[in-house]
Amino acid sequence: MEISYRIGNDLDLSEVIDLYKTLTLGERRPVEDRECMAQMINSANLVITAWDGDLLVGISRSLTDYCYLAYLSDLAVRSSNQRRGIGKALMTRTQAELGPHAKIVLLAAPEAREYYPHVGFSRHDSAWVLAASERIR
């Protein structure tokens, strides 16, 4: 079956959580906190999904100003649908929705560190993270 793509965050939360749980991404997202997951999806202003018929097989979730920067906070493709170009298609569609000068920034999952250079991303060594439990000093 051919994969179809949709733009928008009006999604069935259970389907989204199911997708995340099938991947190691589910270990790093609050999949047991439905309220938080709903807010994550609803607050993202650029969400692109991939569908195999009625089955959600991929998602690209970004926060963006559409002109300068997009933070690609989640890129997930169901394991059974990987290596079919879906992740690359989701990123290509994300980039197409942005202005011509907007760059995409992301934090790679440990298992995906080698994937992003393969599709054209450059490593950036000055990213910084402040955990929710830490405070600005």
Q: What is the pLDDT of residue 90?
A: 97
The verdict on residue 132 lying in a domain is no
Q: What is the pLDDT of residue 82?
A: 86
DSSP track, 80-124: GGTTSSHHHHHHHHHHHHS-TT-EEE----GGGTTHHHHTT----
The verdict on residue 133 lying in a domain is no
The verdict on residue 137 lying in a domain is no
- Tell me which residues of the chain have a pLDDT lower than 50: none
The verdict on residue 28 lying in a domain is yes
Q: What is the pLDDT of residue 114?
A: 85
The verdict on residue 104 lying in a domain is yes
Q: What is the pLDDT of residue 1?
A: 65
The verdict on residue 131 lying in a domain is no
The verdict on residue 136 lying in a domain is no
Tally of domains in the chain: 1
Residue ranges making up the domain that contains 95: 3-118
The verdict on residue 130 lying in a domain is no
Q: What is the pLDDT of residue 111?
A: 79
Q: What is the pLDDT of residue 16?
A: 94
Q: Which residues are within 8 A (CB) of 100 and not within 5 positions of it... i.e. 6 or more apart?
A: none
CATH number of domain containing 45: 3.40.630.30
